[in-house]
Structure 1
Amino acid sequence: MTREYQSEAELEDQLMKRLNALGYQTIQLHDEKAVISHFRDVLNQRNRDRLKGKVLTDTEFIRALNELTGSKTIYQMAQLLRGSDYQPHGKIVITRDDNSELYLEFFDGINFENNTFEIAHQITVNAKYTNRYDVTILINGLPVVQIELKRRGVELPQAFNQIIRYRNESFRQLFRFIQIFVISNGEDTRYFANNDGKLNSNFMFYWTDQKNHWLNEINAFAASFFSRQRLHSLIARYTIFDSDEQRMLIMRPYQVYAVEKIIDRVQNHPGENGYIWHTTGSGKTITAFKASQLIARDTDAKKVIFLIDRSDLDTQTADNFNAYLPQIKTEGRALDRIDSTEMLVEQLQSKSNPLIVTTIQKLNYAIKNNQYKSLLTPYHDAKVVFIEDEAHRSQFGEMRKGINRWFKNAQHIGFTGTPIFAENVGQDGRTTETLYGECLHQYLIKDAIRDRNVLGFSMQYLNTIHGKDVFKDGDEMVSGIDKKEVMEADDRLKMIVQHILLNHGQITHNRHYNAILAVSSTRVALKYYNLFKKLDPEHQLHVTTIFTWKANEKDNEKKQDKKEALTSRHGLESVIKDYNQMFETNFSTEKFKDYFNDVSRRMKQFNYQTPENNIDVLIVVNMFLTGFDSPKLSTLYIDKKLQWHNLIQAFSRTNRIELDSKPFGNILAYRNMKQDTDDAVRLFSAGSSKSLFVPSYDELQKQFDDAVKDLRQISPTPQSVDSLHNLGKEALQKFVLAFREVLRVYNKIRVYDEFDFSKMINFTHQDLESYRSKYADVYQEIIDDPEDPASVLDDVDFEMELIAADTIDVGYIVNLIHAINLKDEDQRGQDTRRIKKMLVNAADPELKLKSDLLQAFLDEIVPKLKPEDNVGNALNQYLIRKREESVKEFSEQVHLPEEVIRKEMDDINFYGENANTKALNEALNANGLKFMEKRTVKNRVKMFVTKALKKFVLS
């Protein structure tokens, strides 16, 4: 048994021996030069037949390195490693010294045994700082996996922060080929993909067995994850390239196991169907895409058809597939969007397109239409594999039966997050199992929440109907009460709108996230929309609604006549007119698809820094409650009956992982739906619902009180944090950890209706803001430390996004300044004092830089402004004047003309750091300075200009 006090060195030695037992050879590589030299030897050895006895010369090897790395991004190098989909080999072509072309292969993506697997430890790289890497895995001499270890008992974020620091400081040349990072303290182990830009600790993944049991302990993890065949497959087969985001994705274990089960079913069990039960939000599209890709490439299937049931998802899925699959191109074009049945038939006939994305409606029409039947006859007996998304929804009707009759030898693989069981069966009585047969792999919502692949839920039931015996069970009314009249009463809907207007900011972290309001009908949607207009005439929140009037009204055609249907469309027309005015667009119900796409885009691209472009609350009936994924959606307001799969699907719109400032999905139910919720959760979590919901308010209240108590013991007041700076690293660490815990609990408890700072004991909102500012000061001091900026960052995960959720930034303050009421002296003073108070507690780094300047403007200029003056213009003029004063003062310090400083400022502002410094160089030469003196002054100028551009420019 491993000792609890096992040191990092002992852990490293243990892992090296484990990897040796798995077939990795240990090599001694002391530094970066040795790594490059070793790769050169391996490259020569792998290509000895192509080299024909003439190993690479120095110049040829430099050309090879340039082809491999050069100016490439990590994303581009990762693609180069894997080659194309149909030629999955890493290869480059260089020109030899005799001008002949030479093809060099450096990775075999098909057969893992055609690659060499090696390990090295304590490689030292001297860059900005000297760094030593714990364990490095090399394939064919290329470092592809970096493992960072911490002794048992140490928090994993330390290892994550160390990886980030190494990446920023010393991962260069061949080390930029690293594909996967693994971090472990012996007891807990995670992996994540390398990428360009900032890495997010929320996307560190667990590795599991096929039953979703964690393999956390380093020996269990290594035995499975670092099996040479498994590691090779993760790199060569189970990596996704998202060309839209320019990022590499390493698949999660349940996705890998599901794909392997599907491939096995297609290859070894022809004629047998199956389905994958992976919970909503777990990445089914990626899994389905990878399965489709590998079936098309590696099996004898004539066609792979990804079948979906909604035209909006047709476009979305085709776009996703093209983003994930830049290599699968046929005759120079990517996967086509199928806009018509005719296009579908063309693609079915094409021999060059193995993969098709279409809707069940288009395919059904094609096989029923006489003009296409003869063209599709060859598919009667051909092997066609259907990958069917949202199998809980679309595969139970006549269209599926017709497709089955036409494609006689087809295999159907269904994907669903919410299967149909006996409890939630539809009118036809068929379950997912009767339609598809065996469940090939499952990953339930409780698994996803446990793994933090999706968030849990905060559930609040809010009573909106007061009176004795109004409800009997759940949402059912007692006899004699008109349920529709009560539930749609103006007073009740008004009360709900008022609740949303009053609490939306608190629930969504000061409008950093958006929300959906789900209602029972199009008529109610329009009533809600008009109430928002009436009660929020200044558009404090941007609210709109969307529905398909034909579909929704057809469901109620017995109760609605033609006039009502027209009224519904006319109502939506009025909504879209308001929308056009709000966002400067030009939509109508005639352009409904364009309106839908724009609404979807704004919901997904929600950005709190540009509130004028956002939709805060989207009122829906059925749309957007399934199939819509956005990390920026945090809240679901419910005023309709939801049951079984429809309930889980709707809830799951809110629980996509984002930053730590989004700790869970918020569900606020304005109906008594607890029993329906409990039933659905029980069914789709296989009876275990405890992990789906966050703690109750009372439990969080105790956690918050305990966290505040711990903070007060370390720093009794915000001001006492200052003294911690003199006590050293350990004291600062304790403060950071304590206040971070306060923020974590606060981000959870603040969404509850019961939460009120005025009821808190010994902790006010002002205390929170003051501690928040000190927290930001500690962070800034550490990253500005010229000696050792990593000393505390390696040991403490600051999680700055916890303060960013409530951060008052420059744009917010400037908007408040513009809104100062100059016509009322008392109000002018109140507005000014309010803004100054916010500036004192500024936590946003950019705002802290401008804080003194803005406070001086409030003290010196605002009191002198006349009622008819424009505050914004006055602020701009003040900033220009202060910038000029600053330039004048600095020019005197460095003995340079003011116009030189101004030109340098203009050039850097326009061109960035690569701006032409000719004027500055000429001025420095004219001063007759020596080389080192010129360099010192030049650096001072650059620092001044960079800071001035941040300080004196508001945008």
Structure 2
Amino acid sequence: MNQFNEKTRVQVPAMVHLLRLGYQYYGKISKTGQNKIYDPTTNILIDVFRQQYKKLNPNLNDKDVKNTLLEINDALRNNDLGRSFYEQYLVSSVKKLIDFENIDNNVFHFTAEFSCINDDEFIPDLTLFINGLPLVFIELKKPNNKNTLIDEQKRMLEKRMPNKKFRRFLNLSQLMIFSNNMEYLSEDGIRPTQGAFYATASNNKIFFNSFREDYINGEEFGFYKQFEYKDIDQQQENKILVDFKCIGLNETSEYKTNIDLLTPTNRIITSLCSKQRLLDILRYGIAFLNQVKEENKNTISIKEKHIIRYPQLFALYALRNKLEQNIKSGTIWHVQGSGKTALSYFLTKFITDYYSKQYIIPKFYFIVDRLDLLEQATREFEMRGLKVNKINSKNDFKEHFKKQSAFENNDGKLEITVVNIQKFDVDDADDNIFKYDLKSQRVFIIDEAHRSYKPEGSFLGKLLSADRNAVKIALTGTPLLKQDKETWKIFGEYIHTYYYDKSIEDGYTLKIFRDDIKTTYKEQLNKIYDDIKIQNKVVNTDDIVEHPNYVEKLVEYIINDFQMFRINNNDNTLGGMIVCKTANQARKIFECFDKVQINLNQITSKAKQTNFNVGLILHNYEDKEFRSDVINDFKYNCTVDLLIVYNMLLTGFDAPRLKKIYLARQMKDHSLLQAITRVNRPYNEYRHGFIVDFADIKDNFEKTNNKYIQELNAFDVDDPSIGIRTNFYEDLSVKKDDIIKEIKEIENKLFYYSIDNLEEFSHEISNENDKNKLLDLKKAITKLQEFSNISILIEDDELKDILSFIEPNKIRSIKNEIDNRIDFINIQDDFLNKPVHTVHVNNILANVIFSFKLVDQSLMDIISEREDVDIKTKCDLLVKRFSEYKKYSDTFEFKDLKTQVLEKIKELRIKPATDEVELKKTIEFFKKISDSLNELERIDNKLEKKYDGDIIFVKIHKLLQKPKKTTNLNIKVVDKLYVDEELTLFELLSHIKKELNTKTQNNKDFLANETVVQRATTTLIKKFIKKNNIENISEELIKYIAKTITKEYIEELNK
């Protein structure tokens, strides 16, 4: 094979995969086509655009087309991330650029290496067009490329996005895909190093989103397997190969591997660029944000462009399925921090379109139960361009409900009314205001649907009865589980779910660490309790935690700890929150904070002195405008360092810079999860949020976590060069017999690797994370390369013949792939092993009564055992897989695994796993079995290839690999032959297979007499052993081999 590179491994296969999706290859576009084939300022394909634009707008002429192109060009010049182009042209219904209703009215093209040039240049690997508009570009890397996706992310952010010369190209592009054709690494989180990701252009950050299809019928890749692909057009395929100088590539095994439907790159292209999906994403999944922020007393505007996250997209699809079944209520359970406000925005676009096809206009109500959440939601929706109607009183609400019109603005903007649930508290006499207009459909989106509303006579009851025909969508990250108050019972079954573990893997939320406080500190606090109680025996706990002695020591610890937190992370933008046990304790902390800070500064070196600014948020402290200013100063202006709260801001408060909470009160159930997940939003490249636990929440957390686990289960949904030789000819003096023996050992070591297909080999080692195994493999390959060079150097035909099992020109590529994998693991290890955060407070006040130290950090696993699906689903999937595993079900390995699973299921029926520890062990068990079965299937597939698909001899091979324990054979001898020397077994069976097939073809009655077959097989075995000088095989073992071969051979051929 002449080429094994990025072009042949990922770029060309991705282009061919697009043919399956119905795209047409436009051809390679050169600069000579400027102003003829394409517009060089935008890369729009002129003729394709002209034909399609006139087709979709038949009343327009060529002059209109030319004017529209000029208008588009002007719109793309704007420094608005393409918002004017998107809103005025791309999704406009006035002059259609795309027919979103009828896919077949559009044409889809692609090309590769199409330069974006405007006094500067960048060249995307692939460009995808709809009706001549270049709306998608794809950047591809080969697996284990040292230039990781992080580098690509950085290049986009630092070089391309700020470059005004690329503005029109990037404003026109709506979707960007980046892939190194590797599976996701769960530890990557917010810093992706491998996988296939998508993004859209933005000024300040390019967030790489992963994409995972929802399971279909219990299958992870169900969507891809059910997708209706088109046959590959061979004429277009050949043109691609010619244009990119890859003639003959389609005849290689690597090419066949790389055009597989299920490669990571091909999967994400199907998920995002299949025609209907791409149109849905363009129509519903783009959001432009305009955020206003104060900086140095100046108001600045920050523009961002967001693309829909995959769980949000699937929530839209799931909702559509419910509506089509005339189910108008349900719960969307998406983890905190996964973007539920953004989801609500996408819902307004999606539902508006859904009902407009029925000539019904939806009216949207976003319902909250707190003023701060109302303000936050209003701000978030307005940032995204929605017209927000504000309801100031119950009377306003009544009047608004009476209106028959769906829109109150003249700009054609989508509208949403943000309303506090208290406004639904109307008298029974007012029920006539809810009279329904058949041309409109009210849609209630209930935010934070885990609130403990009273079931009877409550605002919730008024909401549910206000319009019984309304669509009611409840959003929550922590549904209520208390009996008779369960969220799903109130608002309807779960429409879609998205859990903590997936959100963490996708980088939308962070893992949380709990910081424990050293015992000496707790002892000193207990001493304070005792001292105060001596003075006043009737004092209660609240009085103790509000006492100046207690409060000042608490503040002292927080100041020192928070200072070290910032110093260790070298980041003064990090924010904190103090969650108090009582409202009065919050006031006391606020009142004494500056005094304690001044006292500490007097005894602290200047370099470690602090000037923290704190803000107090209580419902009865100052007024609403003051609290709003404090919150904005914390969230956006970074002029408040720590917030002091009691009940407010513990749910729904979204401030990414908040990375540490000092929890001084006991909490439980959903309130606890809501509070601690305030710190789980991504911020810069931090991988964790932190909870400093003064209230000993560990037990409550575990109890709460276990409750959610049960609810989820109920809902079925080193130096790499060490030891490696580099001198190829050092062993020229070694005896040839020793070299041959060593080559055989290496061949045996490579038995289950696809050394005949570099791409499959690359995939196999990409799943190997044990660096020692890779180093051992590299050592073997290096040795093999050495022997290959020796055979050429000394022109030894015997050595060349023994080395014929591997192509010499592939040895170096295999070694390079192993090197790439080792380097890649080293890069990941460097990142993962980098210290996250360490706090050292060593006897901070040596002569003071109290001393404080952080003694322990523990990871808080929030429902993290749900790696893919729940335990029940894992059981069902495994049982299904075992039942479908029929070809080799008699083999020892299969029976061993199956027995383990059946025994575990029996054990779980007798004693189900209930607590978190047992659940984790169970999940780990099923994962281990699943991994073992995956490896067994991989080995079976390799054996089938080696035996040319002859399952009879694959089965015989597996049976002889490890005979049943009931036999009387010498196990050590058997192990040496059948386990340690798998290659010998393969060569023996291949020889016998050939000979027996010949005998069967020449003599049709050969199989009629089992004794004759066994005697002939025994003779063949003995001849093979003698010819190949195989030692230590007893007569008993020979008889066993012959008997096994005879039995299976006759049984299979007589079926």
TM-score with structure 2 setting the length? 0.54
Deviation at 1:322, TM superposition (A): 2.6
User: How far apart, in 2, do the equivalents of 1:535 and 1:603 lie?
Assistant: 21
Aligned to 2:232: none
Whether the aligned pair in 2 keeps the contact of 1:306 and 1:388 (CA below 8 Å) is: yes
User: How far apart, in 1, do the equivalents of 2:61 and 2:459 lie?
Assistant: 64
Deviation at 1:593, TM superposition (A): 0.6
User: How far apart, in 2, do the equivalents of 1:296 and 1:347 lie?
Assistant: 19
Deviation at 1:743, TM superposition (A): 8.3
Deviation at 1:351, TM superposition (A): 2.9
User: How far apart, in 2, do the equivalents of 1:52 and 1:229 lie?
Assistant: 27
User: How far apart, in 2, do the equivalents of 1:651 and 1:3 lie?
Assistant: 56
Deviation at 1:373, TM superposition (A): 4.3
Aligned to 1:156: 149
Q: Identify if the C-alpha distance between structure 1 residues 405 and 68 changes in structure 2 by more than 3 Å, giving closer, same or farther.
A: closer
Deviation at 1:314, TM superposition (A): 2.0
143, 146, 163: which one pairs with 2:134?
A: 143
Backbone CA RMSD of aligned residues: 4.0
Residues 728-777 of structure 1 deviation map (CA, whole Å, 9 limit, x = unaligned): xxxxxx99999998787666123466899xxxxxxxxxxxxxxxxxxxxx
User: How far apart, in 2, do the equivalents of 1:228 and 1:36 lie?
Assistant: 24
**Aligned letter for 1:602?**
D
Give 1:240-389 correspondences, 5 Å limit.
Answer: 240-244=287-291, 245-270=302-327, 272-299=328-355, 300=360, 303-326=363-386, 334-353=387-406, 355-365=415-425, 367-368=426-427, 370=429, 372-378=430-436, 384-389=442-447
73, 82, 87: which one pairs with 1:75?
A: 82
Aligned to 2:17: 18
Aligned to 2:612: 541
Aligned to 1:210: 214
Q: Identify if the C-alpha distance between structure 1 residues 120 and 617 changes in structure 2 by more than 3 Å, giving closer, same or farther.
A: same
485, 509, 526: which one pairs with 2:587?
A: 526
Deviation at 1:46, TM superposition (A): 1.8
Identity %: 21
Q: Identify if the C-alpha distance between structure 1 residues 175 and 51 changes in structure 2 by more than 3 Å, giving closer, same or farther.
A: farther
1:631 matches 2:637: no
Residues 840-861 of structure 1 deviation map (CA, whole Å, 9 limit, x = unaligned): xxxxxxxxxxxxxxxxxxxxxx
Q: Identify if the C-alpha distance between structure 1 residues 752 and 374 changes in structure 2 by more than 3 Å, giving closer, same or farther.
A: farther
Deviation at 1:415, TM superposition (A): 0.6
User: How far apart, in 2, do the equivalents of 1:184 and 1:172 lie?
Assistant: 23
User: How far apart, in 2, do the equivalents of 1:415 and 1:755 lie?
Assistant: 47
Residues 270-303 of structure 1 deviation map (CA, whole Å, 9 limit, x = unaligned): 4x42101001111001112222343244324653
Whether the aligned pair in 1 keeps the contact of 2:83 and 2:288 (CA below 8 Å) is: no
Whether the aligned pair in 2 keeps the contact of 1:125 and 1:131 (CA below 8 Å) is: yes
Whether the aligned pair in 2 keeps the contact of 1:136 and 1:146 (CA below 8 Å) is: yes
Deviation at 1:64, TM superposition (A): 4.7
Q: Identify if the C-alpha distance between structure 1 residues 494 and 344 changes in structure 2 by more than 3 Å, giving closer, same or farther.
A: same
Whether the aligned pair in 1 keeps the contact of 2:367 and 2:445 (CA below 8 Å) is: yes
Aligned to 2:186: none
Q: Identify if the C-alpha distance between structure 1 residues 639 and 223 changes in structure 2 by more than 3 Å, giving closer, same or farther.
A: same
Which is bigger in relative contact order (C-alpha 8 A, separation at least 6)?
Answer: 2
User: How far apart, in 1, do the equivalents of 2:124 and 2:658 lie?
Assistant: 39
**Aligned letter for 2:693?**
A
Aligned to 1:730: none
Aligned to 2:296: none
**Aligned letter for 1:27?**
Y
**Aligned letter for 1:384?**
R
2:382 aligns to what SS in structure 1?
A: helix
255, 258, 273: which one pairs with 1:226?
A: 273
Residues 393-436 of structure 1 deviation map (CA, whole Å, 9 limit, x = unaligned): 155442222333342333322110001114xx5xxx32112212
User: How far apart, in 1, do the equivalents of 2:439 and 2:459 lie?
Assistant: 19
**Aligned letter for 2:308?**
M
1:438 matches 2:509: no
Residues 480-519 of structure 1 deviation map (CA, whole Å, 9 limit, x = unaligned): 9964455455433322211111121221345321111001
User: How far apart, in 2, do the equivalents of 1:277 and 1:748 lie?
Assistant: 30
1:171 matches 2:178: no
Residues 660-694 of structure 1 deviation map (CA, whole Å, 9 limit, x = unaligned): 2x3321110112221112223344466999xxxxx
User: How far apart, in 2, do the equivalents of 1:113 and 1:357 lie?
Assistant: 37
Aligned to 1:809: none
Aligned to 2:1037: none
**Aligned letter for 1:183?**
F
**Aligned letter for 1:185?**
N
Aligned to 1:118: 109
Aligned to 1:749: 837
Aligned to 1:679: 703
Q: Identify if the C-alpha distance between structure 1 residues 676 and 211 changes in structure 2 by more than 3 Å, giving closer, same or farther.
A: farther
User: How far apart, in 1, do the equivalents of 2:590 and 2:64 lie?
Assistant: 73
1:210 aligns to what SS in structure 2?
A: coil
1:181 aligns to what SS in structure 2?
A: strand
Deviation at 1:118, TM superposition (A): 0.7
Residues 879-898 of structure 1 deviation map (CA, whole Å, 9 limit, x = unaligned): xxxxxxxxxxxxxxxxxxxx
Deviation at 1:222, TM superposition (A): 2.1
Aligned to 1:66: 73
User: How far apart, in 2, do the equivalents of 1:79 and 1:349 lie?
Assistant: 34
563, 578, 591: which one pairs with 1:505?
A: 563
2:209 aligns to what SS in structure 1?
A: coil
Q: Identify if the C-alpha distance between structure 1 residues 531 and 114 changes in structure 2 by more than 3 Å, giving closer, same or farther.
A: same
Aligned to 1:861: none
1:618 aligns to what SS in structure 2?
A: strand
Q: Identify if the C-alpha distance between structure 1 residues 369 and 359 changes in structure 2 by more than 3 Å, giving closer, same or farther.
A: farther
User: How far apart, in 1, do the equivalents of 2:418 and 2:113 lie?
Assistant: 52
**Aligned letter for 1:265?**
K
Aligned to 2:523: 466
Whether the aligned pair in 2 keeps the contact of 1:239 and 1:248 (CA below 8 Å) is: yes
Once the two structures are overlaid, the 10-residue window that deviates more, 625-634 or 740-749, is 740-749
**Aligned letter for 1:344?**
F
1:442 aligns to what SS in structure 2?
A: strand
- Consecutive unaligned residues in structure 1, runs of 5 or more: 92-104, 327-333, 472-478, 550-571, 573-588, 608-613, 690-705, 707-733, 757-955
**Aligned letter for 2:52?**
R
Deviation at 1:653, TM superposition (A): 1.2
Q: Identify if the C-alpha distance between structure 1 residues 243 and 267 changes in structure 2 by more than 3 Å, giving closer, same or farther.
A: farther
Q: Identify if the C-alpha distance between structure 1 residues 522 and 131 changes in structure 2 by more than 3 Å, giving closer, same or farther.
A: closer
**Aligned letter for 1:458?**
F
Aligned to 1:99: none
Once the two structures are overlaid, the 10-residue window that deviates more, 36-45 or 627-636, is 36-45
Q: Identify if the C-alpha distance between structure 1 residues 277 and 88 changes in structure 2 by more than 3 Å, giving closer, same or farther.
A: farther
User: How far apart, in 2, do the equivalents of 1:255 and 1:419 lie?
Assistant: 18
**Aligned letter for 1:138?**
F
Whether the aligned pair in 1 keeps the contact of 2:200 and 2:307 (CA below 8 Å) is: no
- Consecutive unaligned residues in structure 2, runs of 5 or more: 183-193, 222-261, 292-301, 408-414, 529-536, 602-609, 714-770, 772-821, 845-1055
Residues 178-236 of structure 1 deviation map (CA, whole Å, 9 limit, x = unaligned): 11111111114444443352433xx1000111249699811222222221110111111
Whether the aligned pair in 1 keeps the contact of 2:390 and 2:417 (CA below 8 Å) is: yes
User: How far apart, in 2, do the equivalents of 1:63 and 1:48 lie?
Assistant: 16
User: How far apart, in 2, do the equivalents of 1:123 and 1:755 lie?
Assistant: 63
Aligned to 2:671: 646
Aligned to 2:506: 451
User: How far apart, in 1, do the equivalents of 2:394 and 2:10 lie?
Assistant: 60
Aligned to 2:692: 668
Which is higher, the Rg of structure 1 or of structure 2? 2
**Aligned letter for 1:182?**
I
Whether the aligned pair in 1 keeps the contact of 2:73 and 2:168 (CA below 8 Å) is: no
Aligned to 1:657: 682
User: How far apart, in 2, do the equivalents of 1:627 and 1:645 lie?
Assistant: 13
